[in-house]
Structure formats: structure tokens, C-alpha cells
């Protein structure tokens, strides 16, 4: 029997992007008691500078201090490589270790969601008000952007001339400049937004969770590994009544009188469901787990963005390579600690964009992040020369993977397979990504800076050569999603309904990127926050925000022109 102190109205599993939002919004009601359980540590302490200094994000991505540090199964279409899959394990979750890029996705992504049975209220008109509710943009609000939300968003200053060269080269190649790819027009190249405020990372722990922790009706416990959801014996449908939590060698049980809400993300949420007996009953029995709710879609439909780097040597010493020596890093760190300014106060992804890979593609399907340095995303391949690079990859992959239990031990990472590049469509789009990026880098704007092609080299030209390069070098853009996807309960692939409620259960909900029916065209932190804001209103029984009437841009000649 649980003690009275271990009974809450809501138990939120995971203090990441969605969990922090829900903790904040649910505890706005002073009569509701909420417990947040986070498997990782807090986001403060001697080592936490690597979480809060924007330019230091490569460090938590490359270590397991604040990171689940997952790796996939050998991927059959990537030369058998085990693909790295970092996931946040800290207050703020992946919003505390990610690259801080703030991108919402394209309006047509949400129009596509709304066409699934049971998801009519996930259209762009329904979602845009919640993007605005969550955000405060430093330039102010408008019909697309918010100015009163908890999440602080800044736009890249683009002081390094290479940023402007990239945007100008795009225009010379025939692509438009867009000043706000989260506004009316996503398509084009321009400055990018980041979740940075006054030179510090604005994670959801900073924006949502910390303010809520001052309320007496919220309790947050770190280093609390949830091993399974508990169900009321004999209930039909199965009613979630709490969770089991590993406490050293002991297992504690904590009761929820209203709901258990899983916010573990696209890897951990399906893992916890399966450990709890929710999933493919045959697979569960194979691990000695008694099925409680047969849902074969749990852990399936895994989607992600794959990206590659197009790297070029720079003939002028103006890149971030100058900042990579120990004395330079010390100087940058000291300036940031003292003033919150300088090279330490940005994620350096200050320019980017979206283009269409071919005529007949209605919305952009390739995304760019431009970086004035040649280095791997997580810092595992240090810069050794002055260079610049574009991260580029398809936005709406047709490949599908899975997250499945390895065994019944909750401390053992699940089996993850992305199945990247398993379809010809994905290979076609990635080939276009390489060739179109080379064309942009070949424009006049880069003439003062362009050195030799570094990766891929000039010799990589044919379809087969590009395919081989991708298999050997492409990496995850770190956007796993869709493993507990929303949809109507008569759809065998759907796990949750349009409010995140798990089919076949009561009192159990999933709210995170795993419930996306399809991955959006862009980074996932902003959409995940939006989804949590929207579902928080549903949980509280509040009237949804009024639908937006703001239009969006579609290229007038998309059927016949690539640009």
C-alpha cells in the first residue's frame, strides 16, 4: 500500500520538452497535485555549464552524463553501422542537450495530420495558436509569432560573413530569401531561430519547469527510473493507477488518482509501455511479460531525419576553427560566464533554410543548417582546418523503423532500428540534396571563400557514388518520432487518440514526439512543446484556443518548377 505522501493526481514520467510543459500547465490549478519523475539528474551543478552555454552543446551530445547515449541496431542500408541516437536524460530532456534550433515545421505537415481519422483538430489552424502561446520572440509577436509565452526565442545575428554568403548564394541559385521560416514562408534560405535568451540556453526546464517548481503542488524527483505503469487488477478497459520506480535495489510504487502521463520521448515511452504489458502480445510473451493491452503499433512506425554534411575548405581564416584552441575556448568561456555574450552565446546555426528537391513537390522537403566550420554535429570529429558546411537531408523520409524490447529488464536499452535509406524515394531525395547543395556552394557569393571540396570529394558524382557516401557518412539529425502515433482506435497502427490517450486504457496518456503520426518538416523541439501545450488544455477541460486564419506560402509554380 502506498503511503499518503506518494499519492498524486497526475504522475508525469519524464521532465523533457513535453513533461516540463505539462508540469507547468497542470499545476496552474492549485487544487491539483503533480509529480514529475526524471531518470536523469538535475540541470544545475558544477558540470551544468555545458548545458546552459549554447556553443557547448556538443559536449552533452557526446557523453552519457546527461544523455541516454543510445545506439541503434546495425542498420542494413547504412553499411551495417550502429547509428548514434542521443536522448536527453536530465531536467529539460533533449531540450537541455539539443542544438537549440527553433523550427516549427511546415503548415502542410499539420494539414496532413488532420486528415488522419480522429485527428481533425490537428490542422495548422488549430496548432498555430499553441505555437504562439508557448513563445516569446525577441523581435515581437504577430499573426505567426508569440510575445507572451514562457519559451524565449532569438534569431541568429549572422555576424560572420559566411552566413550571408550562404543566403546570398541561395538567391543567386534561384531560391528566395525568407526572413522568418516559422512565419508565412518556410521555403527559402535565411536567418534561423534558436531557443536562446540573453546568451543562455532556454530549455523547457528553464522556461517551464523551474518556474512551476516554486508552486507547492508540484514535486520533482530526479534519478527516478520508472520501470512500468501499474494497472488496476481486473479493470476493463485497463485503468492506470500509478507507476513502479527503481530506488536502488528496491521498487517503490506511487499512485496516480487521475492519470499517468508518459513523456519519455520516441524511445523511452514505447519502451515503458511494452514493459507495462502494452504492445504486441506475442512479442511481450516472448520476454515473459503478461500482455495487458494488445496494441501492435507500440514502438513501430519509427521515423527520423537523416542528414549529411557538405563540407568545403575556406580560403580565409574567418571560420570557427580559430575558436577551437584551448586558449581560445578559455577566452570564449570566460566572456560568456562574465557577460553572457560572445561566441559562447550562440549555437552557431544562425542561417539555414528549406528548399524543394524537385518540381512536383508541393512543400519543401530538404532542410539546411549552415555552420561556419567543418566539424561533426556532436563534436566527435574535431575541426582541423578552416572550412564551412551545410547539414542537409530529406524531411519526410519514407523509411520506417522500430523500438522493441531487448528483454524485460528496464535498465537495458531497447532495440532501435531506423532502417534509414531503405526506400528508393529516400535515396533519390538524398542524391538531390548533395547536388543542389553543391550548386549553392558554387555560386558567386562563395567565390571569396571557396577552397577545395572536403566531403564529399569532387570524385563523388554518380548515383552509386553518392549512395555509398551516404551509407558511410550520413548521421541522424536526432529527430526520432512517431512510435506511439495518434489516430483512431480502429486503426491497428495507432497507439493513442488525438489527445494522447492510450487506446484500450483509462488514465494513461502519452505526450511527446512519439505521438506524431508523421514526422514534421523540421526540428522537433518546437512542435513537441506545441503538442504539450495543446493537450494540456484538453487534460484541464479547457476550451481550445481560437483557430488561426493566418495563410501560408506555397510556391505558385511548384508543379512545374523546382525553384
Please tell me the distance from the alpha carbon of residue 423 to that of residue 443, in angstroms, as a whole number: 31
* Inter-residue contact 538 to 499 (CB < 8 Å): yes
CA 120 to chain centre: 23
Please tell me the distance from the alpha carbon of residue 101 to that of residue 263, in angstroms, as a whole number: 21
479: annotated active-site residue? yes
Please tell me the distance from the alpha carbon of residue 150 to that of residue 526, in angstroms, as a whole number: 12
* Inter-residue contact 104 to 137 (CB < 8 Å): no
Q: How many CB atoms lie within 10 A of CB 424?
A: 9
Q: How many CB atoms lie within 10 A of CB 492?
A: 12
Residue 268 Ramachandran class (φ > 0 left, ψ -120 to 50 alpha, else beta): alpha
* Inter-residue contact 374 to 383 (CB < 8 Å): yes
Please tell me the distance from the alpha carbon of residue 517 to that of residue 498, in angstroms, as a whole number: 10
Q: Which residue, 418, 365, 339, is CA-closest to 72?
A: 418
**C-alpha cell at position 235:** 479493470
Q: 460 exposed, middle or buried (CB, 10 Å; 0-12, 13-18, 19+)?
A: middle
Which residues lie across from 260 on neighbouring strands? 11, 508
Collapse the DSSP code of 7 into the 3-class scheme (helix H, G, I; strand E, B; otherwise coil) and give the result: strand
* Inter-residue contact 184 to 553 (CB < 8 Å): yes
User: What would you report as the CA-atom Rg of the chain, rounded to the nearest whole angstrom?
Assistant: 23
**C-alpha cell at position 251:** 521498487
**C-alpha cell at position 488:** 483512431
**C-alpha cell at position 110:** 499539420
Please tell me the distance from the alpha carbon of residue 47 to that of residue 65, in angstroms, as a whole number: 9
Cβ within 8 Å of residue 65, ≥6 positions away: 41, 47
Which residues lie across from 415 on neighbouring strands? 404
Cβ within 8 Å of residue 325, ≥6 positions away: none
Please tell me the distance from the alpha carbon of residue 161 to that of residue 152, in angstroms, as a whole number: 26
The catalytic residue among 52, 106, 479, 555 is: 479
How many residues are present in the chain? Answer: 563
* Inter-residue contact 95 to 203 (CB < 8 Å): yes
What amino acid positions are annotated as catalytic residues?
479
Amino acid at each position: 500500500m502506498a503511503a499518503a505522501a506518494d499519492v498524486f493526481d497526475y504522475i508525469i514520467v519524464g521532465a523533457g520538452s513535453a513533461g516540463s510543459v505539462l508540469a507547468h500547465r497542470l499545476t496552474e490549478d492549485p487544487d491539483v497535485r503533480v509529480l514529475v519523475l526524471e531518470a536523469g539528474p538535475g540541470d544545475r551543478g558544477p558540470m551544468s555549464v555545458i548545458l546552459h552555454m549554447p556553443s557547448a552543446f556538443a559536449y552533452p551530445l557526446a557523453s552519457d552524463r546527461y544523455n541516454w547515449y543510445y545506439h541503434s541496431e546495425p542498420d542494413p542500408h547504412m553499411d551495417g553501422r550502429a547509428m548514434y541516437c542521443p536522448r536527453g536524460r536530465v531536467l529539460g530532456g533533449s531540450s537541455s542537450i539539443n542544438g537549440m534550433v527553433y523550427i516549427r515545421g511546415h503548415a502542410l505537415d499539420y494539414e496532413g495530420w488532420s486528415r488522419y481519422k480522429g485527428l481533425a483538430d490537428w490542422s495548422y489552424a488549430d496548432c498555430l495558436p499553441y505555437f504562439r502561446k508557448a513563445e516569446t520572440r525577441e523581435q515581437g509577436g504577430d499573426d505567426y509569432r508569440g510575445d507572451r509565452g514562457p519559451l524565449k526565442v532569438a534569431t541568429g545575428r549572422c555576424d560572420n560573413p559566411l552566413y550571408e554568403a550562404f543566403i546570398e548564394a541561395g538567391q543567386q541559385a534561384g531560391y528566395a530569401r525568407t526572413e522568418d521560416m516559422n512565419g508565412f514562408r518556410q521555403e527559402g534560405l535565411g536567418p534561423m531561430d534558436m531557443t536562446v535568451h540573453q546568451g543562455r540556453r532556454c530549455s523547457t526546464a528553464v522556461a517551464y519547469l523551474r518556474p512551476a517548481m516554486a508552486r507547492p503542488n508540484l514535486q520533482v524527483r530526479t534519478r527516478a527510473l520508472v520501470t512500468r505503469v501499474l494497472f488496476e487488477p481486473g479493470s476493463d478497459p485497463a485503468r492506470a493507477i500509478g507507476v513502479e520506480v527503481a530506488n536502488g535495489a528496491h521498487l517503490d510504487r506511487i499512485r496516480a488518482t487521475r492519470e499517468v502521463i508518459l513523456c519519455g520521448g520516441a524511445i523511452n515511452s514505447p519502451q515503458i509501455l511494452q514493459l507495462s504489458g502494452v504492445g504486441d502480445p506475442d512479442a511481450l510473451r516472448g520476454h515473459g511479460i503478461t500482455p495487458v493491452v494488445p496494441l501492435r503499433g507500440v514502438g513501430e512506425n519509427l521515423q527520423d531525419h537523416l542528414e549529411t554534411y557538405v563540407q568545403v575548405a575556406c580560403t580565409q581564416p574567418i571560420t570557427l576553427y580559430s575558436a577551437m584552441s584551448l586558449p581560445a575556448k578559455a577566452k570564449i568561456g570566460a566572456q560568456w560566464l562574465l557577460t553572457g555574450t560572445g561566441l559562447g552565446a550562440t549555437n552557431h546555426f544562425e542561417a539555414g533554410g528549406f528548399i524543394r528537391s524537385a518540381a512536383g513537390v508541393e512543400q519543401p522537403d530538404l532542410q539546411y543548417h549552415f555552420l561556419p566550420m567543418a566539424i561533426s554535429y556532436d563534436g566527435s570529429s574535431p575541426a582541423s582546418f578552416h572550412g564551412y558546411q551545410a547539414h542537409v537531408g530529406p524531411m519526410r523520409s519514407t523509411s520506417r523503423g522500430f523500438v522493441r524490447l531487448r528483454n524485460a529488464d528496464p535498465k537495458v536499452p531497447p532495440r532501435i532500428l531506423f532502417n534509414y535509406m531503405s526506400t528508393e524515394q529516400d535515396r533519390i531525395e538524398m542524391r538531390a540534396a548533395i547536388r543542389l547543395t553543391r550548386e549553392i556552394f558554387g555560386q558567386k557569393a562563395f567565390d571569396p571563400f571557396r577552397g577545395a571540396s572536403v566531403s564529399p570529394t569532387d570524385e563523388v558524382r554518380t548515383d552509386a557514388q553518392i549512395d555509398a557516401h551516404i551509407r558511410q557518412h550520413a548521421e541522424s539529425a536526432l529527430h526520432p518520432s512517431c512510435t506511439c502515433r495518434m489516430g483512431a482506435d480502429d486503426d491497428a497502427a495507432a497507439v493513442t487518440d488525438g489527445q494522447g490517450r492510450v487506446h484500450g486504457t483509462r488514465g494513461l496518456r502519452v505526450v511527446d514526439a512519439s505521438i506524431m503520426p508523421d514526422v514534421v518538416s523540421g526540428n522537433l523541439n518546437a512542435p513537441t512543446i506545441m503538442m504539450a501545450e495543446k493537450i494540456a488544455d484538453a487534460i484541464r477541460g479547457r476550451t481550445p484556443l481560437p483557430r488561426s486564419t493566418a495563410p501560408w506560402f506555397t510556391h505558385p509554380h511548384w508543379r512545374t518548377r523546382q525553384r
